[in-house]
Amino acid sequence: MTADFAPSDASRPHVARVYDYLLGGKDNFAADRAVGDRMLASLPAVQLGVRAQRDVLGRVVRYLVGEVGLRQLLDIGSGLPTADNVHEIAQRIDPATRVVYLDNDPIVLSHAEALLADDPSAFVVDGDLRDPAGILANPGVRKRLDWEQPIGLLMCGILHYVLDEEHPAEVVATLYHALPSGSYVFIHHLLAIEDPAAAVLQEQMRAGLGRAQFRTMNQVRALFDGLKLVEPGLVIVPDWRPEPPAIRDHPVLEMACVGVARKP
């Protein structure tokens, strides 16, 4: 594949690179570290939160591939490659599992292309969640996945970057409509809760990254409209099918919820 993505601007912070910095990665620039440092200064436990996010993503992939038996995943807002990527977890269960990563960050795309160059079952495509019709029409998305068979749609840590005025409910409904029956959807979403630390985090993400829209549990539940949540339903991150050893009772872990649902 060729890297024909737009050149990235290192002077502006990007979501994926700030997240990479908080995860202890090296694919970030000074502007990203400055935003990450401000988040760490006001909420030192934020790194625990991002690690918990990666952990629950892993649990969900193992559930979808290992228990439900899905063999194709579409990961929207995949982020920079890091330890235990979705395709690595899935392919440990079945090497033939197809994974399509989609992101709108040019650095994510070029790193993922390099990582996946020799992998016959994992691919990366350029796309924007706010343009679901564009995603569904993307030849990479159409060609790499079998739209007659159930698909696992992963939206981990991305919907809180889709603002209310960008109509997240319509965005997800367009995607859900296209999914074959028996498909599954995973959402991880930052929560609007009483804890003042959540409001501070949201403000810092807005100031540093230009956008953030935390939502209540009920607002996130509404994003599963038309689907059936599987057990244990929509819960805070550490409560979704926990695996020992796990840190389960830190306040930062109450700032995000997760749910997995099936399309009837």
Ligand X SMILES: C[S@@+](CC[C@H](N)C(=O)[O-])C[C@H]1O[C@@H](n2cnc3c(N)ncnc32)[C@H](O)[C@@H]1O
Q: Which residues bind to ligand X, rule: CB under 6 A?
A: 15-16, 19, 53-54, 57, 77-79, 103-105, 108, 128-130, 156-158, 161
Nearest to 155, CA basis, from 250, 73, 240, 217? 73
101 versus 224: smaller Cβ distance to ligand X: 101
Q: Quote the longest CA-to-CA distance of the chain.
A: 48
CB of 104 closer than 8 Å to CB of 76:
no
Distance in Å, CB of 228 to ligand X, minimum: 23
53 versus 121: smaller Cβ distance to ligand X: 53
Integer Cα distance of 68 and 85 in angstroms: 19
19 versus 240: smaller Cβ distance to ligand X: 19
76 in helix, strand or coil?
strand
Q: Classify residue 112 by burial, with Cβ atoms within 10 Å: 0-12, 13-18, 19+.
A: buried
46 versus 261: smaller Cβ distance to ligand X: 46
Integer Cα distance of 166 and 163 in angstroms: 5
Distance in Å, CB of 157 to ligand X, minimum: 4
Distance in Å, CB of 148 to ligand X, minimum: 25
Distance in Å, CB of 238 to ligand X, minimum: 15
